[in-house]
Structure 1
């Protein structure tokens, strides 16, 4: 192959290597989402010893053209004899997350 043929191929491989897949994006945002849910749960449960576990995560499609890309995490929190779930939504690439108590919480 000539250099002219290899140059576009090399550029394409570099571009593909720079892209993150959905699982990597979710992993990158997970610690912020978990921290937000855990801080809220510790306050609402009055339990500073509570711990959190990510139960599920997914990327959400933007609501409209050029809409905000978001990640959704379902986070279980246990401590002080209590167990609750929170749904945490995070704007991708931003520390902006909000956690709300899941359905059926007391």
Structure 2
């Protein structure tokens, strides 16, 4: 059961991951890492070759997930990580999932 304190610490960030990150299992690895960290949201490939990730969790969870997005998968060569904070009010995510390519 969540407490009001946890609700107050909930943040949402939209992340664009640029570089050679498609076609190497990056999204599946991202789902596993997010679930391990307790982060909710989604991940999807973009037609421009980037990967887009919506993250929701505590500031510490999101910092850990962003660090993983950069260096967590050795086959991924991340050139740029663009993080945008999504201001409240925002939708609440119940789990982390992989979405179809946009």
Q: Which one has the largest radius of gyration?
A: 1
Greater RCO, CA 8 A, separation 6+: 2
Question: With structure 2 as the length reference, what TM-score do the two structures score?
Answer: 0.31
